A = this chain, B = another copy of it.
Amino acid sequence: MALQTARISAEGGKAQRVYLLLRDEITRGDLPPGAVLPGELRLADHYGVSRVTIRRALDVLAQEGLIDRRAGSGTVVTGAAPQRAAIAADFATLMPQLVQMGQQTTARLLSYAYIPAPAPVSDALRLADGVRVQRAVRVRLMDSAPFSHLTTHVPDDIAQDFSETDLAGTPLFRLLERAGVQVDHATQSISASLATPDVAEALEVAVGAALISLTRVVFDATGRGVEHLAALYRPDRFRLDMVLNRVGKAGARQWEPVLVPMTGAAE
């Protein structure tokens, strides 16, 4: 569990910010295992805080086993990212590939309601004002470890027969097919954002942690918007990987993404 994380986020002072930054650098591989950290004094100067604050952050990192501190020797990075067999997503399909067999993803439905479409959603889906949509918030887990927080909006006439158990068990993609929607094309935008308290709790991360943000808008053959997805992914458990192969001769700077065959089926 994220007991330590919870306790730290409850404190939530400067020490936790430094802790988050250092942990981010370690789990990202920027500070690989074996690397020696600068002295506490240098760290204090670099982060603009005092040694005591640096010390508190290092205390937590040491308690989590990420670093090893030895008097006189210095502080070295021991364990890298927990490397919880991160899920890699195929770029084109955005269906996560389960890197290891036997690992399954399940979904947990957090909320479920029919509401008038919020402005950003109705704009993206090109809906008229006041159109009602089904809003579902789900968390997807792999081996009972959450890795994605999904907020979907679907026009209510399409989502009429999406029951709660449907949403908990079936990918929305399949549900749209079942509803007779002819999915045609989609637009995606990838960004980064911070974990707000509610998603932080759902994803079991600290408030203020970095998350991958993906917004996808799906249209049917008639050009009608049928789904709006706002997804947040834990960077330590989810990756967006792609391979680029050069197309054409020298001078033609164009790349072709390699399409990986889809095996999993999740969002």
Tell me the minimal C-beta distance from A114 to chain B in angstroms.
Answer: 20
With the chains together, A95 CA to B255 CA distance in Å?
A: 11
Q: What secondary structure prevails in chain A residues at the interface with B?
A: mixed
The size of the chain A interface, using a CB distance under 8 A, is: 72
Contact A210:B189 (CB < 8 A) given known A246-B184, A253-B93: no
| A178-194 contact mask (Cβ, 8 Å, vs B): 1 or 0 | 00001111111111111
Q: How many copies does the complex hold?
A: 2
| A224-237 contact mask (Cβ, 8 Å, vs B): 1 or 0 | 00000010000100
Query: CB-nearest residue of chain B relative to A17?
Result: B208
Q: A192's contact among B17, B32, B211, by CB below 8 Å, is which? A: B211
Inter-subunit contact B186/A243 (CB<8 Å): yes
A239 CB within 8 Å of chain B: yes
Considering only residues 206-264 of chain A, those with a C-beta below 8 Å from chain B are: 207-213, 230, 235, 239-246, 250, 253-257, 259, 262
Binds B, one of A18-26, A55-63, A126-134, A139-147: A18-26
Tell me the minimal C-beta distance from A13 to chain B in angstroms.
Answer: 7
Inter-subunit contact A235/B192 (CB<8 Å): yes
Q: A120's contact among B17, B29, B48, B93, by CB below 8 Å, is which? A: B29
Inter-subunit contact B255/A257 (CB<8 Å): no
A contact residues vs B (CB 8 Å cutoff)? 9-10, 12-14, 17, 20-21, 24-25, 28-30, 32, 34-35, 46-49, 91-95, 118-120, 173, 177, 182-194, 196-198, 207-213, 230, 235, 239-246, 250, 253-257, 259, 262, 265
Q: Which 7 A-B pairs have CB atoms at the shortest separation, nearest pair first?
A: A192-B192, A190-B240, A192-B210, A92-B255, A191-B235, A32-B119, A186-B244
